[in-house]
Structure 1
Amino acid sequence: MIDLLSVDFMQRALIAALLVGTVAPMVGIFLVQRRLSLIGDGMGHVALAGVAIGLVSGTAPVLTALVAAVIAAVVIELLRARGRTNGDVALAVIFYGGIAGGVVIISKSSSGTPANLMKYLFGSILTTQRTDLYVFAGLALLISVTTWALRPRLFAVANDEEYARAVGLPVLPLNIVLAALTATTVVVAMRVVGLLLISALMIVPNAASQLVANSFSGGLGWAIAFGLVSSVGGVALSYPLDTPSGGTIVLLAVALFVVTAVVTGVMARVGGRRHDVAETHPHEHGAECGHPAVTHGDHVDYVHDGHLHAAHEGHYDEHGVHHDGVPEPAGTTPGLTSATPGPTTGPTSGPTTGARP
């Protein structure tokens, strides 16, 4: 790692990866909520057309790519909002039209060599210049501040658009802002992971975060953490392995997702077994079974032969003992109070609303 930091181009590459790894998941979490995981690909293809225009006209490719991607993002949202065509069709038209136009236009440029085209399609982070970093840092700051300031509203619209409209939120402007943020993120990341792979860095860290987070804010934090590990780690690994940085970053992100899925799956299975099961329990509890019921947190226990039993995934859990009308739960279970027995499904029918999670 010390060797990496001693090389100028690796320093710039790591800073660029740090910026992209932070902002890409911040925008991607709203795309995942809206089930628009592939919109980054569409924006990437349009950005390629913008890059081609910049190369032909002698303008900075980053600027022309940003303008083209933002315009396309706004057009997609307007078409989708007015119902003239659905989001998938609009995205497909932009997707194919953008990449075809980019390939044709870039072929007319003196700079339109295959190597130059590949640099934008799959990333070339090691060629990042100091001026590029200034541009990327400015755009990343804009994305971060806007996303953080609007996150409650963006979440509300992404989670339930009809409800957000009913409570008076400006749904269309917020969707346009999100689309513009997506386009800007694509342009920031195109030199790091490439226009064809940027969507993965926006989506995969968020997919992994959903496996471990219990809230939106927690999911955002985990997504940024996964994004940073993927981007910075991918660049650091690509140098000694002599592999393309963009592909290495995405493969590391996918690997983190797989490992997270396996670990959380194992933990869920192990954790699901960490409860005391009633040894023999042929009786099926219910509203008419004759056994008293007591509330216990978010479920109902039944007093059976002095023991507290609760239905759970096809069996009954042992939740403590009950003496002289006073429940004495096992372990650190909180106090219980009497409750009227409610209907429940027996152990042969799987979990119930009174089941212990």
Structure 2
Amino acid sequence: MAAGDGQDDSRPVTSRASRIAVLLTALVLCLVVSALQVSTSPSSHIASVLVAVPAVIAFAFGPPMILGSAVVAAGVRWALLPAEPERIGSAVGTTVVIGVIAVLSCFVVRRGERESARLQKVTSVAEAAQRAVLRPPPDTVGRFRTAASYRAAAQYARIGGDLYAVADTAHGVRALIGDVRGKGLGAVSTATTVLGSFHEAAYTEPSLGPLAARLDTGLSRFLPDDEAFVTALLIEIAPDGLTHAYSCGHPPPLVLREGTVRELPAAPGLPLGLRALPSASASATDGPAPPGTRLRPGDTLLLYTDGIAETRDRSGAFYPLTDRLTAYQAAHPDPVDPHHLLAWLLDDAQDYGRAGTHDDAALLALTWQTDEDPRPREWAA
């Protein structure tokens, strides 16, 4: 609805088939009641069932149709009066009840419409906030097709504490995915701080270690307490495909290649926001950097948060991410479409965790476009 057009489109959408089914139900109800009332004893109270007609109509229609159905039901009741002329009082009583039920149905429907309109406005604001904080990456960054998806833990929410970003820099394509400890507006604010630091530092820092330190410094100035932190994963893909990862307490990325799924080795580091603690300064904050992995055209790099990996089924078993990605590649031969992959993965994890998940889930995929001669088939280190 465009603002200021004077129209109210807040009523929940009802399918045409549902409307037809409701109308047929109300019509059949009127016909059956009429037939039974005429064919049975004049002292029967079958005609009183007509009071249900406005309530039936309220399942799929608004106040105008509800009031119209009440008039029709009352008309049917009075049309049956010649079959029982001595029951005028019953006809009056049924008409009054029909009117009362119609008015109550109108009230309930209008209240539902107002709640729907309120939820629609809240959702619209949340979606605008998500677009401002989590800007969708461009479809193509460097040699890579990119896609990102987000699922908030709270019902109807569109934003939470997970974050992602991609930048095409002089050092190569750099990507970030992270998970803020906690939920709600505080987590959103923390995520905004990390993203702002990344978009500034990703273009200037020479390697991932100093980039992580810049993010930590910026976040430490912002965090309200010593218990807040952010797990994050930084990726750098050089123009020749040599890829390095730096994990700040975050799960390593996965590489999808010709039906296989492999973890990309990541240099270990502390979560953002914890490096300045005394316990952190007394120990090594960074581990040795593993050798890079050389990607090649056709490879897909998948970054994810634990909202996916820690999805559980009713028995408590974790979502088998690697196995499911292998099955996806078997069912969807190369080249991988990153948008389709992420949509499928979110739906598959949601189906697996029917008992309910309680964490946000973010996904970021980068697929090297196959517009060049393929590299050697073996995994290069």
TM-score, normalised relative to structure 1: 0.31
The structure that is helix-richer by fraction is 1
Relative contact order (alpha carbons < 8 A, sep ≥ 6): 1 or 2 greater? 1
TM-score, normalised relative to structure 2: 0.30
The structure that is strand-richer by fraction is 2
Higher alpha-carbon Rg: 2
